[in-house]
């Protein structure tokens, strides 16, 4: 039925006898892994899950082995993962994603106040509200592309921020921020007699503070990572990468690109809603500052720092950023003195003087320098650095052992 087109090339006969469908030649891996095997996906997921769940152990030596900071790693990891679905996959840079983070927090706290301290209800509501909000903002913003899209999202986010401080004060409680109180109705909790009025979010009886809070966030991070992985390998993910590559061709290829982009926008808004909800779960308080443009800029930084369009990059970027913000900023001269204790006194003073501007309040300086270095020397982020190192390592090994890894 399908007639074959003959090409004038000389090596035509080579391709003739074999139907492409039946020839099972080993297929190389696509750049983004659309062609990667599902086995390697699950291996990656398992390693990721293991790494996340053992963070308390292997991050302890650098002073990050306590639940509060690890919760932040996981939460902002989810936020950055979602942001990357839009920015990394489809290339649309949103400067207003913090609006969805804030919306998620407010939605979750309202559920704590009205229905129940159960985190599941709050998170579901946070995701739904952020998704609906993203649908609205995305629908309007996606009428434009490029810098205009970014400006529109920024405008919407700043508008939300200012509304939260002014007109929407009855919902957001303005500058004080939205908090849970003993007098809240909490209808479901009262109905089932479960309330103790302490106002600590729980997961069916398990209070989500400290370590349980971290593991709760960590499991959701692993789930979010898995979903992102599936999206990336799916047809939908391929379309997003194609839009990033050449939106013009997508149109002439018969795709309505806007619905795809809107879907990506809403999905990433829902991730942000989940992250915002989790912020409220680990600390039941929502303030408008979560919606400010600096917070939107932060997630852009995290994603670029880690590696735009990669799976792991945004999570690593989020962790690095939160580490600098939370731990590095608390270093003072005392800590530095102790760190350089092994040096002779003169050298120790010298090192402390040199390094002290970069720690403590100066952590932004370190972040800025790091960001500059990454953008200049590793445009693909930390993940590109990892890839380069492992590539060199593999090449060194590959020279001696005859490409044994080619088969899988």
Partner 1 sequence: MTSEILSIKGVSKRFGGLRALDDVNLNVRQGSVHAIIGPNGAGKSTLLNCLVGRIIPDEGSVTFDGGSLLGHSPHQINQAGIARVFQTPEIFGELTVVENVMIPAFARHDGAFRINAWRRARERGAVREEAEHILDDLNLWDQRDQIVNSMSRGDKRRLELAMCLVQHPKLLLLDEPTAGMSRADTNNTVDLLKKIAERGITKVIIEHDMHVVFSPPRRSP
Q: Which residue has the tokens 């009025």?
A: 197
- Say how many residues touch partner 1, by CB under 8 A: 52
Contact residue for partner 1 among 65, 155, 163, 244 (CB under 8 A): 244
Q: Which residue number, 235 or 404, has a Cβ lying nearer to partner 1?
A: 235
> Residue 45 has which token pair?
């997921």
Q: Which residues between 23 and 82 bind partner 1 (CB under 8 A)?
A: 27-31, 34-35, 38
**CB of 186 closer than 8 Å to CB of 121:** no
C-beta pairs of 357-365 under 8 Å, 24+ apart in sequence = 359/328, 359/329, 359/331, 359/332, 359/335, 360/329, 360/330, 360/331, 360/332, 361/329, 363/324, 363/325, 363/328, 363/329
**CB of 273 closer than 8 Å to CB of 107:** yes
Using alpha carbons only, what angle is made at residue 259 by residues 86 and 164, rounded to the nearest 5 degrees? 60
Q: Does 135 bind partner 1 (CB under 8 A)?
A: no
Q: Does 10 bind partner 1 (CB under 8 A)?
A: yes
Contact residue for partner 1 among 1, 4, 57, 294 (CB under 8 A): 4
- Rounded least distance, CB 255 to partner 1, Å: 6
Contact residue for partner 1 among 185, 197, 259, 379 (CB under 8 A): 259
Structural Rg of the chain based on CA atoms: 25
- Rounded least distance, CB 298 to partner 1, Å: 27
Q: Which residue number, 26 or 193, has a Cβ lying nearer to partner 1?
A: 26
Q: Does 182 bind partner 1 (CB under 8 A)?
A: no
d(C-alpha 396, C-alpha 389), whole Å: 11
**Burial of 275 (C-beta count, 10 Å sphere; 0-12/13-18/19+):** buried
Closest by CA position to 330, among listed 98, 71, 77, 66: 66
Contact residue for partner 1 among 13, 183, 235, 294 (CB under 8 A): 235
Q: Does 263 bind partner 1 (CB under 8 A)?
A: yes
- Rounded least distance, CB 43 to partner 1, Å: 16
For 79, phi then psi, to 5°, come to -55, -50
Q: Which residue number, 6 or 57, has a Cβ lying nearer to partner 1?
A: 6
Q: Does 230 bind partner 1 (CB under 8 A)?
A: yes
Q: Which residues between 183 and 202 bind partner 1 (CB under 8 A)?
A: none
Contact residue for partner 1 among 54, 166, 251, 390 (CB under 8 A): 251
- Rounded least distance, CB 131 to partner 1, Å: 14
Candidate segments 11-19, 105-113, 153-161, 349-357, binder of partner 1 by CB under 8 A: 11-19
Contact residue for partner 1 among 54, 166, 176, 234 (CB under 8 A): 234
Sign of CA dihedral 307, 218, 322, 46: negative
Give Cβ neighbours of residue 128 (< 8 Å, ≥ 6 apart): 107, 273
Contact residue for partner 1 among 238, 285, 324, 327 (CB under 8 A): 238
**CB of 103 closer than 8 Å to CB of 290:** no
Q: Does 387 bind partner 1 (CB under 8 A)?
A: no
Candidate segments 17-25, 60-68, 109-117, 144-152, binder of partner 1 by CB under 8 A: 17-25
- Rounded least distance, CB 267 to partner 1, Å: 8
Q: How many CB atoms lie within 10 A of CB 121?
A: 17
Q: Does 400 bind partner 1 (CB under 8 A)?
A: no
Q: How many CB atoms lie within 10 A of CB 137?
A: 26
Helix extents (H) in 17-85: 38-53, 55-58, 67-84
Q: Which residue number, 251 or 330, has a Cβ lying nearer to partner 1?
A: 251
Contact residue for partner 1 among 1, 7, 399, 400 (CB under 8 A): 7
Q: Does 21 bind partner 1 (CB under 8 A)?
A: yes
Contact residue for partner 1 among 9, 341, 396, 399 (CB under 8 A): 9
Contact residue for partner 1 among 15, 185, 197, 379 (CB under 8 A): 15
Using alpha carbons only, what angle is made at residue 301 by residues 295 and 302, rounded to the nearest 5 degrees? 90
> Residue 115 has which token pair?
């229905």
Q: Does 294 bind partner 1 (CB under 8 A)?
A: no
Residues found near partner 1 in the complex (CB under 8 A) = 2-12, 15, 18-21, 27-31, 34-35, 38, 230-231, 233-239, 241-242, 244-246, 248-257, 259-260, 263, 267
């Amino acid at each position: 039925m399908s007639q074959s087109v003959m090409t004038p090339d000389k090596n035509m006969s080579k391709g003739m006898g074999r139907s492409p469908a039946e020839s099972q030649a080993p297929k190389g891996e696509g750049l983004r892994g659309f062609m990667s095997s599902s086995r390697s996906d699950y291996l990656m997921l398992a390693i990721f899950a293991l790494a996340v769940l053992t963070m308390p152990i292997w991050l302890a030596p650098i002073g990050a082995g306590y639940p509060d900071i690890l919760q932040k790693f996981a939460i902002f990891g989810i936020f950055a993962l979602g942001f990357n679905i839009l920015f990394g996959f489809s290339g649309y840079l949103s400067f207003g994603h913090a609006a969805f983070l804030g919306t998620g927090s407010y939605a979750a706290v309202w559920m704590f106040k009205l229905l129940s301290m159960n985190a599941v209800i709050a998170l579901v509501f946070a995701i739904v509200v952020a998704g609906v909000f993203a649908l609205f903002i995305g629908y309007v913003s996606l009428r434009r592309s490029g810098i205009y899209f970014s400006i529109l999202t920024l405008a919407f986010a700043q508008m939300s921020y200012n509304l939260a401080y002014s007109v929407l004060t009855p919902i957001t409680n303005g500058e004080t921020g939205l908090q849970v109180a003993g007098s809240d109705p909490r209808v479901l909790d009262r109905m089932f007699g479960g309330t103790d009025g302490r106002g600590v979010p729980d997961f069916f009886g398990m209070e989500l503070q400290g370590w349980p809070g971290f593991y709760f966030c960590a499991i959701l991070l692993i789930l979010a990572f898995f979903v992102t992985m599936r999206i990336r390998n799916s047809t939908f993910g391929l379309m997003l990468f194609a839009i990033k590559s050449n939106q013009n061709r997508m149109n002439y290829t018969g795709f309505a690109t806007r619905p795809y982009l809107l879907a990506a926008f809403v999905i990433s808004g829902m991730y942000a809603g989940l992250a915002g909800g989790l912020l409220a779960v680990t600390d039941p308080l929502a303030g408008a500052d979560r919606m400010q443009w600096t917070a939107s800029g932060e997630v852009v930084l995290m994603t670029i720092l880690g590696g735009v369009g990669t799976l792991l990059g945004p999570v690593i970027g989020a962790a690095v950023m939160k580490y600098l913000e939370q731990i590095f900023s608390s270093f003072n001269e005392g800590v530095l003195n102790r760190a350089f204790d092994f040096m002779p006194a003169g050298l120790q003073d010298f090192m402390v003087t040199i390094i002290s501007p970069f720690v403590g309040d100066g952590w932004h300086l370190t972040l800025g320098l790091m960001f500059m270095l990454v953008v200049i020397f590793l445009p693909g982020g930390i993940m590109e650095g990892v890839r380069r190192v492992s590539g060199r390592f593999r090449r060194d090994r590959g020279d001696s052992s005859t490409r044994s890894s080619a088969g899988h």
